Structure 1
Amino acid sequence: MSTTELTKDNFDDVVADDGFVLIDFWASWCGPCRQFAPVYESAAERHSDLTFAKVDTEAEQELAAAFEIQSIPTLMIIRDRVVVFAQPGALPESALEDLIGQARGLDMEEVRQAAAEAGEESAPSEASGPSSR
């Protein structure tokens, strides 16, 4: 499966419908982004049950700002509309595979409970695009 272009217009639908979304925030002028792209595409082919999306930070500045993207590439993982991982930097293939495995293994009920106990239930950990803010 190839990657999905994520925009402010389709963000809510993609995240709500798919439940487990990996997002690569990138730009065409970014060298590390170009180096990470084949690793990301390869993982998308191996994990066809997950949604792999890309956000062009130049074209989608509002979406990048909504997630406070400071550095690219930034990889984000959203499960059940909760951001469970967000980190800048290009990952090697083995690290990306390990990360996907860890995200698959999360008990989302525990994640939501921990967020509620920390008082973050409606904080930025909830993934909502700019149109729903």
Structure 2
Amino acid sequence: MATTELQADNFEATISEPIVLVDFWAAWCGPCRGFAPVFEEASEKHPDIVFAKVDTEANRELSAALGIMSIPTLMAFRDGILLHSQAGALPPQALEQLIEGLRAVDMDDVRREMEAQNQAAEASR
């Protein structure tokens, strides 16, 4: 499966998919170029996952809104919820471990915890 190019106009719709990995990169970035084939190979091995890329040079506002401070940065979403964000290029084994971990997350537990946090925040106001 090829990677999907993300921009501000398709970001929200794309991350609402069941599992989405987003690589924030730039053409001038050596580590980004090194990570690109690892990311592409993983996209071929996991066709049920959306693998997406954001060119930080072409999408400065989106990158800033998401707090991207260094590249490459990899973000992982499940059902539109950010579960992982990490700067730095991952080796293939670490990317596979991340994918396994994402698949194993109980999203009902995540939603319950988020709801409890929201209720606690509202109660403290």
TM over 0.5: yes
Distance 1:75 1:87 in 2: 5
Distance 2:59 2:42 in 1: 23
Residue type at the aligned position of 1:32: P
Q: Which has the higher Rg, Structure 1 or Structure 2? A: 2
Residue type at the aligned position of 1:9: D
Alignment partner, residue 13 of structure 2 = 13
SS at match of 1:68: coil
Shift >3 Å, 4+ stretches: none
Q: Does 1:62 align with 2:52?
A: no
| CA displacement, residues 64-99 of structure 1 (integer Å, 9 cap, x when unaligned) | 111100010000001111000001010000000000
Distance 1:117 1:34 in 2: 41
Taking only the aligned residue pairs, the percentage that are identical comes to 55
Structure 1 residues not aligned, in runs of 5+: 121-133
Deviation (angstroms), 1:14: 1.5
Higher helix residue share? 2
Deviation (angstroms), 1:12: 2.0
| CA displacement, residues 8-37 of structure 1 (integer Å, 9 cap, x when unaligned) | 011122123x22110000000101000000
Q: Does 1:4 align with 2:4?
A: yes
TM-score (norm 2): 0.91
Q: What's the Cα RMSD here?
A: 1.7
SS at match of 2:22: strand
Residue type at the aligned position of 2:14: V
Distance 2:96 2:80 in 1: 21
Alignment partner, residue 74 of structure 1 = 73
TM-score (norm 1): 0.86
Deviation (angstroms), 1:114: 1.5
Alignment partner, residue 41 of structure 1 = 40
